[in-house]
A and B are shown apart, each in its own frame.
Chain A
Amino acid sequence: MKAFALLVTVACCASIPLAAQNLPPAMNFDSAANPLTLPDDVYLGEVGGVATNSRGDIFVYTRTGHPTLSMATARPFAHGGSRLFQFDRSGKFTREIGQGLYGFLFAAQVRVDPQDNLWVVDEMSGMVIKFDPQGRVALLLGRKPESVNNPPRAGGAGGGAEGGAGGRGRAPGAGADQDVFNRPTDVAWDSQGNIFVADGRGNARIAKFSKDGVFVKSWGQKGNAPGQFADVDSIVVDALGNVYAADAGNGRIQVFDNNGTYQREIGNVGNAQAICITPGSNQVMFVSNSNPPNDLDKAGEIYKMRLDGTMVGKFGRAGKLLKEFGSVSAIDCRTEATLYIGEVGNFRVQKLTMR
């Protein structure tokens, strides 16, 4: 049966001209007018991540200011710059989590695992932070660079993390056999709880850890060949444990098995800055072809596709109005019908209802 389905898929796609594949049907959707109720004195900045848990609570990890650098200390130290907010399922503000936390500098992503733990990825501190559902720090991957290099080192991240050039004789972007990240962007888990970190925009690799945070392996380096990345911008794992890594700079999503063996690539996805996969069976994937922050006049749409890469439909475009998207950085898709979209450009979260 499975082989038959695969055969049908291949036959179907091979018979459709490429141009038609680039024009998936437009999908209808609505965007709620004010999905989040912000208290006075709480503002969203650039949204790195948005995610929901099993109860419908909404978490937003956002850049609320720039890290402050200390002057005339032994070295310049960076503090602050991002905050993590929780809202209930109606969008009412519940609380702030991790206020003043050491690693909150430049919000990259937030995800919720199947046990409702909260995972935050910070691109500048290089930290992947697991909170338990009560908001306590439960596991840490990475280490925040002690200080910021000024002037910045060539090729280094703003946080001064090393390893971008490969280090220790490794290929550029290959990183080290450790949880030393250089501009990590995302995190995902398989059904056993193994952790996959997208690392990221300084390194160009995927790092796998056991559920207890023991390093297992990493793969990938800078480049455009199979198994190489321009950047690793977003990562999801399907129910079978396959790893889908958005490689926006190469206009593709690469698929690996659970051990990092290259399987295939999904092309025609443009600037894939954010991907999401629905839970359960019959999984589908949403991919944002995000417009770059300096251009509102190209891209910006979100694709819905099957895991084999077949396009189901597309919706939205770049812009500032409701139902338009400004450099999407995050998609939450607990169901196919309701999506939460985080935007860098418009300092907001949209709640979409697909029709």
Chain B
Amino acid sequence: MVLMVGTVIAQQKATITGVPDIPFTSVANFLKLPAGEYLGESVAVATDSKGNTYVYHRRDTTRLFQFDRNGTFVKEIGKGYYGFEFAHSVRVDKDDNIWTVDEGTNLVTKFSPEGKVLMVVGRRPPAIDGPVVFPAGPNKPAEKYILCRPTDVGWDPQGNIFISDGYCNNRVVKYDKAGRFVAQAGSEKAGTALGEFNLPHGLQVDERGNVWVADRTNNRYQVLDNNLKPIKEITNLGTGWTLCISPGPHQYVFHSNSNPNGNPPGSWDTTGEIYKTELDGTVIGKFGKPGKVAPGFQVVHMLDCRNPSEIVLGEIESWRVQKYVFQSGASSRTAAR
């Protein structure tokens, strides 16, 4: 029985050719769960400065687990928290605060490194309004402080907050670090022009303050300046599912042309790879392909590249998190650039 049918999203094969493969090894059983604990759809994964890994996943309820640098389970954060219903993203800021983006409650929550709630953006639709009818028709007008199935969060060096919002708005919103609305690009309406979006699905901000958006249904990425004015689009890397940007003086961007949900016939031959690029768009290489068994991918949904030689990634359809370590030859080659 089909419980819920999302919009069928056409997946696009990347048009770029001749990209070298980056050799890697996959860390077997990277995360070690205690007996009786399980991951669900592991849509979100992030690391902090101490090497801890956070997995925000869809299980009996949506839950947030912390693991140490060895992959050993440390604790659960947010058990029974009002803002958890249907995970979409977790990211860690420069102060090691943990931010969750929940597509079910429409809330973005900032947790301290100890797991205490510090800030909430958006509002969960109140239960007093009764069961929600599955939405049909045009999206409601976007509001400054109400999110609609938000997807991701990032920050510039000044601490301004950027949110991709989402499945029922089609915009990127900028708030200051106190949570006050500053600007938005896009609106509730989907569009194809620069500065418009059709399912902004992943977002990160580079050290210059530029905002990178995976514009999924438009099969592209967009780069916006700090005031959300569009700079450029990237259209040759397939469907823009998600991305990460490594920190430090020389930043790299990893883009995932994830294989689509449901593994439609032929999709394994045309999708699933992840591209490593420079900030200027130069494509360095690619790695990975779909597969049920590790190191294959089953719908990569989030990438962490705090260390650009080690990628941690979460997958929807295999209910797991993988760690890819690039072999030294590849690292030295890219480091020499």
A43 interfacial by beta-carbon distance below 8 Å: yes
- When distances are taken between beta carbons in the complex, the residues of chain B under 8 Å from A212 are none
Query: Which of A44, A123, A294, A296 is within 8 Å of B180, CB to CB?
Result: A296
Tell me the nearest residue of chain B to A82, going by C-beta: B127
Task: Say which residue of A76, A149, A157, A296 sits within 8 Å of B128 (CB atoms).
Answer: A157
Of A62, A105, A123, A296, most B-chain CB atoms within 10 Å? A296
Q: What is the size, in residues, of chain A's interface with B at 8 Å between Cβ atoms?
A: 46
> Is B145 within 8 A of A294, CB to CB?
yes
Bound complex: CA of A213 vs CA of B116, how far in Å? Answer: 41
Residues of B within 8 A of A293 (CB): 123, 145-146
Q: Check if B94 is an interface residue, CB within 8 A of chain A.
A: no
Instruction: Find chain B residues with CB under 8 A from A156 CB.
Output: 130
Q: Among B45-53, B72-80, B283-291, which stretch is in contact with chain A?
A: B72-80
Residues of A close to B127: CB separation below 8 A: 63, 66-67, 81, 105-106, 124, 158
Residues of chain B within 8 A of A67, CB atoms compared: 127
Which residues on the A side are within 8 Å of B143 (C-beta)?
A: 294
Residues from 115 to 135 in B contacting A, C-beta threshold 8 Å: 115-117, 119-120, 123-124, 126-131, 133
Chain A: minimal CB distance from B109 (Å) = 8
Contact between B131 and A347, CB atoms less than 8 A apart: no
Contact of B69 with A by CB under 8 A: no
Query: Is the CB–CB distance between B75 and A40 below 8 Å?
Result: yes
Q: Residue A320 contacts which of B76, B83, B179 (CB distance < 8 angstroms)?
A: B179
Tell me whether B145 and A295 are in contact (CB under 8 A): yes
Complex contact A44–B117 (CB within 8 A): yes
**Count the A-B residue pairs with Cβ separation under 8 angstroms: how many?**
106
Q: With a CB–CB cut-off of 8 A, which chain B residues contact A76?
A: 131
Within 8 A of B (CB), among A324-346: 324, 326, 345-346
Enumerate chain A residues within 8 angstroms of B119, measured Cβ to Cβ.
320, 346
What does the 1/0 interface line of A155-167 toward B look like (CB < 8 Å)?
A: 0111110000000
A345 touches which of B78, B120, B130, B181 (Cβ 8 Å): B120
Q: Which residues of B contact A40 (CB under 8 A)?
A: 75, 79, 115
Whether A294 contacts B80 by the Cβ 8 Å rule is no
When the two chains form their complex, are residues B131 and A43 in contact, meaning their CB atoms are under 8 A apart?
Answer: no
**Does B80 contact A148, Cβ atoms closer than 8 Å?**
no
By a CB distance below 8 angstroms, the chain A residues around B180 are 296-297, 319-320
Report yes or no: A148 in contact with B130, Cβ–Cβ below 8 A. yes
Interface: B32 (CB within 8 A): no
From 19 to 76 in chain B, residues with beta carbon under 8 angstroms from any chain A beta carbon are 75-76
For residue B121, which residue of chain A has the nearest CB?
A320
Chain B contact residue count (CB 8 A cutoff): 31
Residue in B closest to A321 when the chains form the complex, CB atoms: B178
Contact B82 A65 (CB under 8 A): yes
Q: Which of B119, B120, B123, B127 has the most CB of A within 10 A?
A: B127
Question: Contact: A319 with B131, CB < 8 Å?
Answer: no
Q: Does A64 contact B (CB under 8 A)?
A: yes
DSSP class of A's interface residues: helix, strand, loop or mixed? loop
Chain B residue numbers with a CB within 8 Å of A160 are: 130
Complex interface residues of chain A between 285 and 312 (CB less than 8 A to chain B)? 293-297
Q: How far does the alpha carbon of A70 sit from the alpha carbon of B38 in the complex, in Å?
A: 24
Given contact pairs A81-B127, A297-B180, A63 touches B82 in the complex (Cβ within 8 A): yes
Closest residue to B119 on the A side, CB-wise? A320
Partner of A158, one of B82, B120, B130, B179: B130
Query: Are B131 and A69 in touch, CB under 8 angstroms?
Result: yes
A76 vs B129: C-alpha distance when bound (angstroms): 15
- Asked if A345 meets B123 with Cβ closer than 8 Å, knowing A43-B117, A66-B85, A294-B145, the reply is yes
Kindly report which residue of chain B lies nearest to residue A319, judged by CB atoms.
B178
Q: Is A152 an interface residue (CB 8 A)?
A: yes
The residues of B that contact A152 with a CB separation of less than 8 Å are: 129-131
Residues of A30-46 at the interface with B, using a CB-CB cut-off of 8 Å, are 38, 40-46
Cβ of B145 and Cβ of A43 under 8 Å apart?
A: no
Is B144 located at the chain interface by the 8 A CB criterion? yes
Which A residues are in CB contact (< 8 Å) with B129? 152, 158
Residues on the B chain within 8 Å of A157, using CB: 128, 130
Instruction: Please report which residues of chain A, range 54-106, place their CB below 8 angstroms from some CB of chain B when the two chains form the complex.
Output: 62-67, 69, 76, 81, 105-106
With contacts A148-B131, A295-B145 known, is A347 near B79, CB below 8 A?
no
* Chain A, Cβ-Cβ closest to B146: A294
A183 at the interface (CB under 8 A from B): yes
B110's closest neighbor in chain A, by CB?
A320
Query: Are A45 and B81 within 8 A (Cβ)?
Result: yes
A309 to B115, CA, bound (A): 43
- B117: A residues at CB distance < 8 A: 43-44, 347-348
Closest CB of chain A to B208's CB: distance in Å?
A: 27
Q: Is A280 an interface residue (CB 8 A)?
A: no
Sample of 8 A–B contacts (CB below 8 Å): A38-B116, A40-B115, A41-B76, A43-B81, A62-B82, A66-B124, A150-B131, A158-B128
Q: Which residues of B contact A (CB under 8 A)?
A: 75-76, 78-83, 85, 115-117, 119-120, 123-124, 126-131, 133, 143-146, 178-181
Extra inter-chain contacts (17) besides given A45-B81, A151-B131, A294-B123, CB under 8 Å: A45-B82, A45-B124, A62-B82, A66-B85, A67-B127, A105-B127, A148-B131, A157-B130, A158-B128, A159-B130, A295-B145, A296-B181, A297-B180, A319-B179, A320-B179, A321-B178, A346-B120
Ordered nearest first, which 9 A-B pairs have the shortest CB separation?
Answer: A45-B82, A158-B130, A152-B130, A320-B179, A43-B81, A66-B127, A41-B79, A150-B131, A158-B128
